[in-house]
């Protein structure tokens, strides 16, 4: 096994702006335990390969981004293992170059393009101005590089229970902040009586981009950046903020290697972004019952837990609610989602925000979306799909919030 890993020891060059010319994304299907183990070893020592979908289970697709100079070695591994493989994306840079419109179709904030952190924050400011009685600014504090982690609170009525929306903890998953801002906008503007009623029936704390350093870096320097931008004297920057929460930290699906994409950080809450979010949630833990987190990609709707497959106390309720939400999501465009707990639906993982919320505060309704798509574009979903993605996702959010409204004890 080791020999395959050693074949891939090559250094990568760094430029001012990362380019991904002729980088391929290869989808491989491990069909037996040996193939799976070699892929898992590779993931631990990727040396320039980037796992977009991690190896976890036999017969589950693994997406690996391969730099052009590593294609010969990669092909050798695939051939020697007899791995089923296909080219899913033939040139990552081409998708980066074409995911956004050449000219913005509209000047205002209209979900026809992906927006920068600055633009998102300016839009939040405009909401505070436009809805002074309902929208107030909220700040979690400052990120590692000193950026404010900003959100808003929407409240039309006193005494409402609250819902939290979290987006952007993984920097490159641009569809997440786009979807969260879209839903926020609908809560404020929708004429649909069901949505308007839900807007009135809950308070909402909405944080489109809880990893602002990473998000900015993914705009300015490296489109494929996932982690925070902290530097703890390591050769590699950042940790995976969504492996950094203090709940079964580092038990599964997280790495102790600083260069890994799933580096869990040097200790629980070592990342200031995760720590600030947890502090804030702790401070309002008496107020909220619903926690909704947004990621991409894979089209999954998941509930706790990730560290093991033991069912949570309301597993049956969450599974049937999740399935109804996924059915509502599919109505607009036929977009199909799988539903289940994190451990069984995507892969074992620990230290994620949703599980911490459930585990520490026992909140009944906590869900995580892996939004579009299933790998055709992966993290590089064209901006032309934002509105359809967000609109169908809103359908699933509505089902969950209606259920919460009907089933939470009235206060
Ligand atoms: Zn993610």
Distance 369 CA to ligand 1 centre (A): 9
Domain ranges of the chain: 2-98, 117-407
- Between CA 144 and CA 213 the distance in angstroms is 7
* Mean pLDDT of the 36-42 span: 93
* Mean pLDDT of the 136-146 span: 98
Distance 106 CA to ligand 1 centre (A): 28
Q: What is the pLDDT of residue 105?
A: 81
Tell me if 165 sits within 8 A of 393, measured CB to CB: no
Of the pLDDT bands very low, low, confident and very high (cuts 50, 70, 90), residue 4 is very low
Reported as a single tens digit per residue, the pLDDT across 143-169 is 999 999 999 999 999 999 999 999 999
Q: How would you class 11 by CB atoms within 10 Å of its CB: exposed for 0-12, middle for 13-18, buried for 19 or more?
A: exposed
Reported as a single tens digit per residue, the pLDDT across 68-95 is 999 999 999 999 999 999 999 999 999 9
Tell me if 180 sits within 8 A of 369, measured CB to CB: no
Distance 28 CA to ligand 1 centre (A): 20
Give the residue carrying structure tokens 């070695």: 73
Per cent of the chain over pLDDT 90 is: 88
Distance 235 CA to ligand 1 centre (A): 23
Q: What is the DSSP string of 194-228?
A: HHHHHHHHEEEEEES-S-HHHHHHHHHT-TT--S-
DSSP H helices, 284-368, are: 315-333, 342-345, 353-361
Distance 296 CA to ligand 1 centre (A): 5
Helix (H) or strand (E) holding 25: strand 24-29
Distance 171 CA to ligand 1 centre (A): 8
Least confident of 258-262, 272-276, 320-324: 258-262
Distance 24 CA to ligand 1 centre (A): 20
Q: What is the pLDDT of residue 261?
A: 92
- Between CA 23 and CA 214 the distance in angstroms is 22
Is the model more confident about 151 or about 253? 151
* Mean pLDDT of the 294-320 span: 97
Distance 168 CA to ligand 1 centre (A): 8
Distance 101 CA to ligand 1 centre (A): 24
CB neighbourhood size of 323 (10 A): 16
Per cent of the chain over pLDDT 70 is: 96
CATH fold of 2-98 reads Alpha-Beta Plaits (3.30.70)
Distance 336 CA to ligand 1 centre (A): 18
Q: What is the pLDDT of residue 346?
A: 85
| pLDDT above 70 (res 283) | yes
Least confident of 98-112, 146-160, 371-385: 98-112
Of the pLDDT bands very low, low, confident and very high (cuts 50, 70, 90), residue 234 is confident
User: Catalytic residues, which ones?
Assistant: 370
* Mean pLDDT of the 346-371 span: 96
Distance 177 CA to ligand 1 centre (A): 11
Q: What is the pLDDT of residue 220?
A: 97
CATH class of 117-407: alpha beta
**Cβ within 8 Å of residue 344, ≥6 positions away:** 309
Of the pLDDT bands very low, low, confident and very high (cuts 50, 70, 90), residue 45 is confident
**Cβ within 8 Å of residue 399, ≥6 positions away:** 321, 324, 325, 328
Distance 187 CA to ligand 1 centre (A): 24
* Mean pLDDT of the 126-143 span: 98
Distance 93 CA to ligand 1 centre (A): 20
* Three-state secondary-structure class, residue 23: coil
Average pLDDT, the chain: 94
Of the pLDDT bands very low, low, confident and very high (cuts 50, 70, 90), residue 411 is low
Q: What is the pLDDT of residue 139?
A: 98
Tell me if 344 sits within 8 A of 338, measured CB to CB: no
């Amino acid at each position: 096994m080791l020999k395959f890993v050693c074949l891939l020891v090559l250094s990568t060059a760094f430029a001012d702006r990362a380019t991904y010319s002729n980088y391929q994304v290869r989808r491989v299907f491990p069909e037996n335990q040996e193939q799976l183990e070699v892929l898992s070893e590779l993931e631990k020592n990727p040396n320039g390969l980037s796992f977009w979908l991690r190896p976890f289970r036999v017969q589950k697709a693994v997406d690996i981004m391969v730099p052009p100079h590593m294609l010969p070695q990669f092909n050798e591994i695939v051939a020697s293992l007899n791995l089923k493989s296909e080219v899913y994306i033939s040139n990552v840079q081409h998708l980066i170059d074409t995911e956004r419109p050449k000219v913005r179709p509209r000047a205002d904030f209209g979900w026809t393009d992906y927006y920068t952190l600055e633009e998102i924050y300016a839009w939040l400011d405009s909401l505070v101005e436009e809805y002074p009685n309902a929208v107030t600014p909220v700040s979690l504090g400052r990120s590692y590089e000193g950026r404010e982690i900003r959100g808003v609170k929407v409240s039309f009525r006193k005494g409402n229970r609250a819902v939290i929306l979290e987006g952007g903890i993984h920097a490159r998953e641009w569809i997440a902040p786009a979807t969260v801002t879209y839903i926020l906008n609908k809560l404020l503007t929708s004429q649909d009586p069901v949505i308007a009623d839900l807007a009135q029936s809950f308070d909402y704390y909405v944080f489109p981009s809880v990893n602002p350093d990473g998000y900015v870096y993914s705009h300015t320097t490296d489109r494929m950046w996932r982690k925070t931008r902290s530097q703890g004297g390591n050769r590699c920057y950042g940790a995976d903020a969504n492996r950094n929460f203090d709940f079964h930290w580092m038990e599964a699906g997280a790495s102790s290697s600083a260069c890994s994409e799933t580096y869990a950080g040097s200790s629980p809450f070592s990342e200031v972004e995760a720590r600030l979010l947890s502090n804030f949630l702790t401070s309002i833990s008496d107020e909220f019952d619903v926690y909704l987190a947004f990621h991409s990609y894979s089209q999954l709707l998941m509930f706790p837990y990730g560290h093991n497959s033991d069912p949570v106390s309301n597993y049956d309720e969450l599974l049937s609610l999740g399935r109804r939400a996924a059915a509502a999501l599919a109505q607009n465009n036929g977009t199909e989602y799988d539903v289940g707990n994190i451990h069984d639906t995507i892969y074992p993982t620990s230290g994620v925000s949703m599980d911490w919320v459930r585990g520490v505060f026992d909140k009944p309704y906590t869900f995580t979306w892996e939004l579009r798509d299933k790998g055709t574009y992966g993290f590089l979903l064209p901006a032309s799909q934002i509105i359809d993605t967000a609109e169908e996702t809103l359908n699933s959010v509505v089902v969950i919030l209606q259920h919460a409204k009907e089933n939470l004890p009235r206060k």
